[in-house]
Amino acid sequence: MPDFSLEMEVGAGEGAIVAGVDEAGRGPWAGPVVAAAVVLDMARLPRDLAAGIDDSKALTRAEREEIFAALKPYATIAVARAEVEEIDSINILQASLLAMRRAVRRLPVAPACVLVDGNIRPRLPRRIAARTVVGGDALSLSIAAASIVAKVTRDRLMLWHARRHRGYGWETNVGYGTREHRLALDRLGLTPLHRRSFRPIWERLEPAQLTLDLNAETEEAPDGTVFDALSETTDSALTPRDS
């Protein structure tokens, strides 16, 4: 189970601000990739809440929603995304790192160190140290919390899009390549939210469409109406596209 050992190693015990960073949505065929940066209040975080925080993939949707709501009084949170056209332009790995960088930059407090899930660090200001942690969402409470926030936020976003693009099952598969999603592609075709750089999608394009569709406009989600349970920082972080 994750704990604060890594946070303590990088200076949280001496008062340094440490943020955990993770993303959600690298694998889906549709929708943006979302990243979260979370600074937990280690002194005030209730033990029972800390005990429930885990890698988002190990939790049910209901458990993630419950933990996310409970986290807000004990965490400083920022969320950002990289859009579908950015994924198609720079690839999903670089888009994930871009979303992480945006999330860190939008924190209202400046972290001394960032714990990043994975083995590649995003480009950050020189004043911010970064440590990559493979499997970090199972080791660090801050990273695990970020994984939950990113996942909940992206799931809500895809639910909003599901109401506008019916038939693809996004309300349950959140853009992943399920059988339902594949059959819907065959029946309904592509939406602007489908990632043209992903093989199951570009295989469905005619050769003449490849260049045109990669430049197609994507659909913007609203600022805060879908994310009313998020903080003001989180809501506003979902619209700008600074690099």
226: pLDDT confidence band, cut at 50, 70 and 90?
very low
Q: Would you kindly state where each structural domain of the chain is located, as residue ranges?
A: 1-221
Tens digit of pLDDT for each residue in 33-67?
A: 999 999 999 999 999 999 999 999 999 999 999 99
Whether 215 has a pLDDT exceeding 60, the answer reads: no
Q: In what order do the strands lie in the sheet with 18-24?
A: 75-82, 33-40, 18-24, 113-117, 129-133
Report CA torsion sign: 193, 197, 199, 205: positive
**Residue 214 reports pLDDT greater than 50:** no
Once rounded to an integer, what is the mean pLDDT over residues 133-146? 98
If pLDDT is split at 50, 70 and 90, which confidence band does 207 have? low
Kindly state the average pLDDT of the residues 148-160. 98
Burial (CB count within 10 angstroms: exposed 0-12, middle 13-18, buried 19+), residue 101: buried
Q: Which amino acid is at 121?
A: R
Task: Say if residue 119's pLDDT is above 60.
Answer: yes
CATH of domain 1-221: 3.30.420.10
Question: Residue written as tokens 């819907």?
Answer: 184
